[in-house]
Structure 1
Amino acid sequence: MNVVISGYYGFGNLGDEALLAGLIPVLQAAGHQVSVLSGDPALTAHSHGLLGSHRLWGLPGALKRCDAIISGGGGLLQDKTSRRSLDYYLAVITLARRLGKRVVVYGQSVGPLSPAGERKVAKALKGLPVAVRDDSSRQLLAALGIAAELVADAALLLTPPPVTLDLDGPVLLIPRGGYPAITDGLLALARSLHAAGRSLATMAFQERVDGPEVARLRAALPIEVWQADSPQAALLLMAKAGYVVSARLHGLILAALLGKGLSGIVYDPKVAAFLGELGAPAHTLPLAPDRLAAEVQAGEVPDIGKLNALKARAAFGAAWLQQALSS
């Protein structure tokens, strides 16, 4: 089967590329031909070794050639950051349905949505197989009359490199562009940890967005800047960390896969949902640097049972996806 994946791919976002890297082998192992709608098809082809079509002008041809389309994963179905973004992803779904293609909505978070956005999502998803990565999204869809299966983020399907736990490794701080208050809190935390003798590192999960916040941290105090151009490279770098404090969801997911101690900064419901299921510390704004510093120094790692439950749900999601494509 020729399968096209629609999501926020080809924009240099390590998180979205991580869930794509988890998803592709699942589809290829089942014998599917996989292509991706991408903001940068050449980058997608280089990074993942498969055909990329431009998400706008390559869309008609990609839909014409495919047998099925997967919308996801990621936080696509929300209109908090952009109404146009939601309209695009729903338009892809609607166009594929009109062309008679099989459509599966997989591994997504849903919301926040305006009332108008809720109506659009309910209309576009009616009658489709839908799987979401957190229970709050499932509850939101249920309120809109859409039944959804509960799976987990496809990045949890990745195999991390072997890791030796090193509590004395650098404390990795992962900011989120567009939220200067997060960086303010990370700066206060970094100064406290530096005064206590801890080494520090920082990393942008999307250079265009997070780069200015990384620059703020680097300008303020001694801190290593780690750079990764792929999820695999990010895992290798993060394996050196002694603890991870992240506002980026996939910074937390990759840290959990590596068995690292972690604290999360909640700027979006998807981050709160993951931290809640993992049983890991969650911080809302304004941040409390003293509490964060105490967590870092304690170095507590996530509950392995809860992590394994999430990984099992991701594996279930992969099996569910195969069934949805074939039924």
Structure 2
Amino acid sequence: MYKVLISGYYGFNNIGDESILRAVVDNLQGRLEDIEITVLSQDPVSTAEKYGVKSVNRKSVKSIVSAVSRCDLLISGGGSLLQDVTSKKSILYYLIIMWMALLFRKKIFIYSQGIGPINSSLNRKLTSKTLSKVSGIVVRDEASKEFLAEIGVDCRKVVVTADPVLRIKRAPLIIGEEILRKEGINLNKEQLTVGFAIRERKLNSEFVDELCIAMERLVTEKNAQIVLIPFHFSEDVSVIEEIEKRLGEKVYSIKHKYLTNEMLSIIGNMDLLVGVRLHALIHSAIMNVPMIAISYDPKINSFMKSIGMKAMCSIYDFNSEDFIDEFNKTLQHKEVLKKRVQNKLIDLTKALDTNEEMIKNIMEK
């Protein structure tokens, strides 16, 4: 029995990171024989139940030390773990766990991560020194590889694949239809349904102002039905409530938490998805739904480039007039865009097999 420990941002009700864990666990179990998986989680009981794995509290030093000492391989799994923009402390958490594994002489694998930005010179040095000692590094985009080379990591040992969530299978649309109905949202073939997955912590920002104008125009000019979709529930509810306060019954929102398969199906029932959240855009690509990306981080731009598209703009230069133009163009060319994305996904999902191939080689050594 080969014991694998997965470290990441799990158990926080962030559907993007939960989708990553779903993809990583499914592919490890489906492609590697005789393995036991343990996950460090904020909510170990829920994680164990959802994914059929063992799980321990990511905040318990005693539990972490025990889990690291018992494992054969530590996987630092998916997402944007090694960056210090959204948090200056979280990067140290993930690096400390890797150093703990090194002290116990365990092997370490970086699983399709997005690396950076890392602004602190100390964090850059620590990251470079740590990753120089791991058994394998796979990143999800070229920008991450370039960043690692910039901070001194030998780029010859870095492999580029894609975000692991891209390998999740499409969900049946009926699941999302029933959820939307329970949420008070009735789909109408004669009416456009437009999903918005928004990330914004400043509720009085110009971005929110312009976003509300854009939504109101979609309702009045396009007879569109607007659905606000929280991807990181605890963070996104605030901005959703702010938009609801301003626009009232002109918009609908998802009020409850859902699993990866359910969220995929919800997205699949949209005629178009406007996304600031990376994994909302990835869900949209999987479900073959036309999308408009608004970037708050380089990872959005990198993903859109990987599927042959571009982000419309950033949250800092978004305006409703340009958005309506982009909306019209996207609808007009939706079939061409959908075909382009699906062709790109074939290559990206094939590339993801590299993770398990490298892990298998590490296990055999």
- Opposite residue 218 of structure 2, the aligned amino acid is L
Shift of 1:265: 1.1
Report what 2:282 is aligned to.
253
Task: Give the TM-score taking structure 1 as reference length.
Answer: 0.94
Tell me, in whole angstroms, the C-alpha distance in 1 between the residues paired with 2:201 and 2:193: 25
**Aligned CA distance change for structure 1 residues 294 and 325 (closer, same or farther; 3 Å):** farther
Larger Rg: 2
Whether the 8 Å CA contact 2:276–2:295 is kept in 1: the answer is: yes
Report what 2:180 is aligned to.
none
- Opposite residue 161 of structure 1, the aligned amino acid is A
- Opposite residue 20 of structure 2, the aligned amino acid is L
Whether the 8 Å CA contact 1:167–1:242 is kept in 2: the answer is: no
Please show how residues 31-110 of structure 1 align to structure 2 within 5 Å. 31=33, 32-57=35-60, 58-110=63-115
Whether the 8 Å CA contact 1:37–1:55 is kept in 2: the answer is: yes
Q: Percent identity?
A: 28
Tell me, in whole angstroms, the C-alpha distance in 1 between the residues paired with 2:257 and 2:66: 32
Whether the 8 Å CA contact 2:211–2:319 is kept in 1: the answer is: no
Q: Secondary structure at the match of 1:37?
A: strand
**Aligned CA distance change for structure 1 residues 167 and 240 (closer, same or farther; 3 Å):** farther
Report what 1:141 is aligned to.
148
1:174 is the counterpart of 2:197: yes
**Aligned CA distance change for structure 1 residues 242 and 90 (closer, same or farther; 3 Å):** same
Whether the 8 Å CA contact 2:17–2:79 is kept in 1: the answer is: yes
Report what 1:5 is aligned to.
6
**Aligned CA distance change for structure 1 residues 230 and 162 (closer, same or farther; 3 Å):** closer
Tell me, in whole angstroms, the C-alpha distance in 2 between the residues paired with 1:74 and 1:219: 32
Q: Secondary structure at the match of 1:35?
A: strand
Report what 1:236 is aligned to.
265
Report what 2:211 is aligned to.
186
Shift of 1:15: 0.2
**Aligned CA distance change for structure 1 residues 255 and 52 (closer, same or farther; 3 Å):** same
Give the gaps of 5 or more residues in structure 1: none
For residues 157-192 of structure 1, give each alpha carbon's deviation from its aligned partner in whole angstroms, at most 9, with x where no partner exists.
10012469x795410011114254443332122111
For residues 7-28 of structure 1, give each alpha carbon's deviation from its aligned partner in whole angstroms, at most 9, with x where no partner exists.
0000010000001101101111
1:291 is the counterpart of 2:344: no
Task: Give the TM-score taking structure 2 as reference length.
Answer: 0.84
> What RMSD in Å do the two structures reach over aligned CA positions?
1.9
For residues 181-211 of structure 1, give each alpha carbon's deviation from its aligned partner in whole angstroms, at most 9, with x where no partner exists.
4433321221110112111101111121111
